[in-house]
Structure 1
């Protein structure tokens, strides 16, 4: 494997279609697509300030690298990409990628990052920006921190563990999602989705968990949550109090305490949902 050390590249397609390179301590300056259509590339301690540096590339390893604000749309249409200990300051990184592994990665401007990717592994990732991970399929996630609106729209076949997701309207239009031991905060979690499971999670929402087909919750907490479960089919085991429940479509809801239960008979059949509440005194049926 040929080595490139402590070099600087700029202009258009500086290392276009490169194959079998080990690059370290190198900067990619003003220009576009320096490593487009490259393969079997190992990059360490390097900086990208050029646009579209790794499009249509395969078998890429990134270690201790940085994509600056000018390194926009850095990795698209790529396969077999591993990124460890990298910082991404530019938006729109990682799209249409397959077999992508991210470890200890920071997206400081994470708008529209990780779109339409398949077979993604995430461990110890922080992202600040809107529309994180839209339309991805096949994700294994551990210790993710997301701050920004509309995360995980349209995802399929996702497992999340030990994560904190602070995002308005997260996991809309999604299918086959399992979330363990995580904290989720936002306005409307999970709308228009199917097969969503939450285990040992804390969720804060206003109008969350609505319009879901086959929602399962086990040992979850729902502080500061109002108007939950509207038109959802639900099997929920909730610890503590939920402020209000509105018009679930069917299922079983077990909870310690409920502020208000709203069951409008012209909209749903109340007999299709069984609500078991330890503190019946503060429940109200409308």
Structure 2
């Protein structure tokens, strides 16, 4: 089936291209009017600008290249499935809600507040994002080269793999399950509280009271810099830290290895089954 081509058009009014099928949109502007492509399928969008709310709701099979969603295109992509976005800028908050099979490649999310909520099957590559509450309650996420400045990111997430990334985020990865992070830097207070099964490999972490209330914490060849009061009430931990740890407090079970530890805070009444090994050079 040949695609209908919409080229160099200014589209106005609510539901301007409602229920479009097999359509190619190029060099165009959606000027105003809510939900211009609602309930559309098999859409190819190139070099196009969205200026108003809810541009891609209830859509299927969408490709977006070299395009822009302005700040006013907020809450832009909800209940949409199978969408690939490349080489684009999204300046709108609350993008992606209850959507599945999302691919973001070389995308700049300038205002990612409350973005990627309750979504599944997400691939993120070479993405920059700034905005709090990124990725809440989302599952099955593969991340490479994410540069994120966003407090409370990935709260309630499940089955997430992160590689080669830098995350600046207070309260990152709270209430999560099955997280693996490789070759990354994480900066922010209270990292990963109330999480189950989280692994850090070749990571550098800076965190006040980070890594507490975790069940199943594994760390391989990691550094903890300016990190104190770590591991409080953690169970089943296997931690290999190739640096100094400022302080640890009240871990419950497992093994902690470090080059040196500034302070170990334990009470006589602690029911702790932890083996602490200091390997000073």
TM range, smaller chain:
over 0.9
For residues 200-215 of structure 1, the aligned pairs below 5 Å read: 200-215=202-217
The alignment partner of 1:240 has SS state of: strand
Instruction: State which of 40, 43, 46 in structure 1 corresponds to 2:42.
Output: 40
- 2:68 is aligned with 1:66: yes
Does residue 251 (structure 1) correspond to residue 274 (structure 2)? The answer is no
Q: Deviations over 1:110-162 (max 9, x none)?
A: 11111111000000001011011110010000000110210110000000000
Q: Which residue of 2 aligns with 1:261?
A: 264
Task: Give 1:106's aligned residue.
Answer: 108
- Cα displacement (A) at 1:109: 1.0
Task: State how many pairs are aligned.
Answer: 278
Q: Could you tell me the TM-score, scaled by structure 1's length? A: 0.96
Q: Please tell me whether residue 240 in structure 1 is matched to residue 243 in structure 2.
A: yes
SS of structure 1 residue aligned to 2:279: strand
1:197 Cα deviation from its structure 2 partner:
0.4
Q: Deviations over 1:195-249 (max 9, x none)?
A: 0000000011011000000000000000000000000021100001010000001
The 3-state SS of whatever aligns with 1:60 is: strand
Distance 1:116 1:202 in 2: 28
Deviations 1:243-273 (A, max 9, x none): 000000110000001110011232x324x00
What is the Cα-based RMSD across aligned positions, in Å? Answer: 0.9
Q: Supply the distance in 2 between the matched residues of 1:269 and 1:217 (Cα, whole angstroms).
A: 23
CA distance in structure 2 between the partners assigned to 1:265 and 1:58 by the alignment: 60
In structure 2, distance between residues paired with 1:103 and 1:162: 15
- Partner residue, 2:18: 16
Match 1:188 to one of 180, 187, 190: 190
Aligned residue in 1 for 2:279:
278
| Partner Cα separation in structure 2 for residue 8 and residue 89 of structure 1 | 20
Output the TM-score relative to the length of structure 2. Answer: 0.98
1:82-114 Cα distance to aligned partner (Å, 9 max, x none): 000110111001111101100001111111111
Instruction: Indicate conservation of the 8 Å contact 1:45/1:63, yes or no.
Output: yes
Identify unmatched segments of 5+ residues in structure 2. Answer: none
Q: Residue 258 of structure 1 contacts residue 279 of structure 1 at CA under 8 Å; is this kept in 2?
A: no
Deviation at 1:279, TM superposition (A): 3.5
Q: Give 2:161's aligned residue.
A: 159
Aligned equivalent of 2:30, options 23, 28, 31? 28
What is the alpha-carbon distance in structure 1 between the residues aligned to residue 278 and residue 44 of structure 2? 57
Q: Which consecutive segments of 4 or more residues in structure 1 shift more than 3 A?
A: none
Which residue is equivalent to 1:123?
125
Question: What SS does the corresponding residue of 1:12 show, helix, strand or coil?
Answer: coil
